[in-house]
Structure 1
């Protein structure tokens, strides 16, 4: 198709769109997923009397805080047209390492936390360095890290859980402050910090610029490799934080922890409006996407719907979200 024909078709589409239609589409594009979340909450409240209670709603957010934190890091990766499949395995590796260091009467609390976060940061930096310097597809690199990190977790723990954690460490995943579970506060903190990083700093502008057009970003003087290494490092750091919270919550380090969490994180980002084509995505949208998954899982559990059907429904939602993203991308192009 010639460029002239493409231009004419774009002009025809613009001409056929009334101001009201354009505003409606813009409103739905921005708030559509929030409306779906509200509708889902209302529906589940009608179907299950125990759903819309303070304790259950807090439980939903608490349960999704781990996936939500991972999804926030994954969002930055996807905005730059990347992908991170290693998140769940990094959670497992961090889980067994911090559990071995958080024993009663052992090291101070900050030691397992620093070691765990450092380990996650290291895996992310390795991913980013190989992707940016080696010019290898993110899918392949993070798939390799997924396998290696899971193997390292099994090797470190001997394939067995590590329990008997100290009480101060357990507070991270089980404690409350003013009645609010501590994991929710950490989730909110990560969300706010990442929002500010992405929307109020030069780094955030560079992230969007790389996702929008990497060649143009390079011409503009943006150090592509450095930004990508930072992004994957940050994603690894958040995966480590999620691993620490999960380990504390279940009171043991599990070499099988985080299984399929990377897919749930990617799903939350995509459902929340992050484009797999790059350049588009918001932290608020990702949080809403994570809550949609959490509300759906919790509501279906209360309705005694089989977990198998839940997986099928989740897969259908992800496919629909990707399809809609593809349609929007085609319209823009």
Structure 2
């Protein structure tokens, strides 16, 4: 199968690219190489004959038409997006342009290509989204997001992703474009850009800096190891039922404070502090993010029952792998810390 992967130099997209190549697929990686992208993420497959890279922006329709005409993919996996909630608070315009207008351009370019090719039955447009479109859950563990949960986005980021989800469904219903959607919980793992919670904690800990936790640290997230997510996405694009959405979760709920304390304990073991103290001593509580959702939790019943997928990595296993990866890969993350906004407190505008 030849896959056109947008955002393939980003965190989740690069995991999909690496795994797809490993499974024997051909991949066309389309990425604009904005601040959070890094071609080092796909260096391990860059010389593979089944891999091609196109630097193109999904906001550029002419460029997308050229990419489709040149590479003639069997399926699209649309991951390109602005995704950092704090940045969306400070600058929502980029999220509207990329996540909404960019998705519109992708849908129209895919529709033209599919129609001109005679509407081949094999073609798929797989839109990858987030559980944040559903809003916030109470802390009752019996209440979870399902594919039927009503959308209730609370941030510019989640609102822009909800909008893109609606566009994809509309193109499926109105034009018959063969679409499938997925909504995932919080990802983590290797190559995670160093502005998100887990890499921030690891790298700040090693640098002797404060480990900032929003509010009182009681916000709950369901954590999904990125390679498990990539495996699920490749399964859905091949076997998912057209027009369906699949929620992909890690079945690993933790409060932010629990998560940070676990990371500190792993670091205490793998890289002990010279003074004999714990990295947990660096934990500090900072002013909460505006509109910070209390809890996200995915019910993965549909993807488990229909496609036989479930996560293979517990959060403890995944965090240990992730910490070790950052300890071993300073040459990857060190240059990224100089990029715009990294290491600064964002998302405090109201």
Same fold by TM-score greater than 0.5: no
Pair member with larger Rg: 1
Higher share in helix: 1
TM range (shorter): under 0.3
TM-score w.r.t. structure 2 length? Answer: 0.24
Tell which has more relative contact order, 1 or 2 (C-alpha 8 A, sep 6+).
Answer: 1
Higher share in strand: 2
